[in-house]
Amino acid sequence: MTITTNDLKNGITLALPEGLFQVVDFQHVKPGKGGAFVRTTLKNARSGAVLDRTFRAGEKVEQAVIDKREMQYLYREGDELVFMDNTTYDQLAVPPVALGPAAGYLVQGSSAVLQMYADEIVGVDIPASVELTVTETEPGVQGDRVSGARKPATVETGLVVAVPLFVNVGDRIKVDTRNGQYLTRV
């Protein structure tokens, strides 16, 4: 869908020759002399890299229509994660690399919103925090009460999280999906 730079809004995605970019910020500028222009800050939908770009006012750009599909993670098959579309019940096999860091927070039965452009996954929305079971960690040493001391713990998805010393194997912990940090024991 073609739009002009006068129609830009925060959050819309553009299909530029360099790739897919989401508009983070934009500003219409009308200098004293010369033509008006639009100064934008764009974020690459695939890599997350930020780009500053200036367009002429009224310049035509291609808007990418991102289809957001609510999916449920069913199981792992070989190297791929199998999702089911909650509306059509179609199944989709996805390589973990397409999900980026979100793959480390998905357990069977969890929901995610996959952002699709054509047949390509360009983003994943998952809850801000998830509950995961600790599968491997060193036992806490009795008497070691150093304030704020942490130890590595592997959770059921294979993700390694720094946890307080009192967390043991089998404990359910809540992890922040934005930064991968331990929040609390459940």
Task: List average pLDDT for each run of 10 residues in the chain, which is 186 residues long.
Answer: 89 89 92 90 86 92 91 92 92 89 90 88 88 89 68 92 90 92 91
Query: How far apart, in Å, are the Cα atoms of 82 and each of 20, 86, 94, 122, 183?
Result: 25, 13, 6, 17, 28
Residue 144 near residue 156, CB atoms below 8 Å: no
Q: Does domain 67-125 have CATH number 3.40.640.10?
A: no
Domain 129-185: top CATH class: mainly beta
Residue intervals of the chain classified under CATH 2.30.30.30 are 2-64
Residue intervals of the chain classified under CATH 2.40.50.140 are 67-125, 129-185
Q: What is the pLDDT of residue 56?
A: 92
Phi, psi of 121 (to 5 degrees): -85, 120
Q: What is the pLDDT of residue 112?
A: 93
The listed CATH number (3.40.1260.10, 3.40.640.10, 2.60.40.10, 2.30.30.30) that belongs to domain 2-64: 2.30.30.30
CA nearest 107: which of 174, 9, 27? 174
